[in-house]
Amino acid sequence: MQQQWIETLKHYLSVVTDYPLLHASLMVLSFWIAAWIINKFFLAWVKRFTDSTEAKIDDRLVELLHTPVFYSIVIVGLIVATGVIDIPESVTNILFPAYYTLLLMLWTVFLIRFTRIGLRQIAKNDRYFHILHPQTLPLFENLALLVILGVSIYYILSSWHIDMTAWLASAGIIGIAVGFAAKDTLANLFSGVFIMADAPYKIHDYVVLETGERGEVTNIGLRSTRLLTRDNIEVTIPNSVMGNTKVINESGGPSTNYRIRAQVSVAYGSDVDQVREVLTEVAQDEPEINTFPEPIVRFRTFGPSGLEFEVMGWIEEPAFRGRILDQINTAIYKKFNELGIEIPYSKHDVYIKSFPNAALQRPETDDGQQAADDR
């Protein structure tokens, strides 16, 4: 019985091989069925296995593999089927590069997506890769994209038997010309790369520039950095300027806490202990000032018009500085008025020792007209 089945199978195979189109169609169908089985069952089994792990990147990898694996198997079936059929060489010289191009495009898209997911996963935990963090992530994503696209384009053109030597030489000459013509743009580009790598500030930080602008960093691009001021005005600064200027990062350090300073003067003769107690009470009663570190009061100096005090406290964000200073100053003024503590202002006493005689005497006229005018 088994020998009969083998003989029958050989008979049908010999019949199929006598008809190349039928043979090619069966080859394509077989590869399509194999692709469907692998996509439906094998990858589904792998997906159940990866679901049991804590990592999420393997789940995304399996999800991304469905499309390229399925269509790659189908394209391989087309390549095998094309080899079965007796096709003129002029046609195969077009078909096979087209097949390779489709395969390269499928896996190029897969690599771009998977690289982006992998880089973002690494950026979330920069314990091992200190240079890759959320601020430098766009830089590495762009570099990976350029590398993958460059390699893919090279092999696609090579599959069409296009000589890349002349293209690379032309690209070098064009690059030199573009470098001279766009030196300012390139300066901004390289400064943007250094800013992303060095990370002197990050998005949502409050920075103060040497020229006086203060605002929240809303975007760090390859060409420029954007700040949003408290007046809701967006300021765009070229990265070459940001890389060569003094930048004060108010949100830098281990946390975003920011210390505000409220300065006030009291008249000479005031009770220093009472003033210190009142200012401390005002700072402690302000709900938006952190209780730790606790606010402090300092007697700074003897001013020209009064005694200079300073109230210092920590707040959650630098953006709240103006509003909280307004609340503290208002509370201090009301408390001083209530307790009769004087806030001095600039006073100047003018002493006139004597008047010139010419200014006190008026010249007499013969007709008395001057006296009449004076009256």
pLDDT of residue 34: 92
Residue 160 DSSP SS3:
coil
Report pLDDT digits (tens) over 346-356: 777 788 877 66
pLDDT of residue 105: 94
Judged on CB neighbours under 10 Å (0-12, 13-18, 19+), 172 is exposed
Residue ranges in the chain whose pLDDT is less than 70: 1-19, 126-131, 135, 166-171, 173, 175, 177-182, 355-375
Q: What are phi and psi of 252, to 5 degrees?
A: -70, 175
| Sequence ranges of the domains in the chain | 14-177, 196-249, 258-339
- Which H or E run contains 124? helix 89-124
Report how far residue 237's alpha carbon sits from residue 209's, in angstroms, rounded to the nearest whole number: 10
Place of tokens 């004060």: 248
- CATH second-level architecture of 258-339? 2-Layer Sandwich (3.30)
Contacts of 143 (CB under 8 A, 6+ apart): none
- CATH second-level architecture of 196-249? Roll (2.30)
pLDDT of residue 371: 44
Report pLDDT digits (tens) over 127-186: 666 667 776 777 788 788 889 998 999 888 888 888 777 666 666 767 676 666 667 777
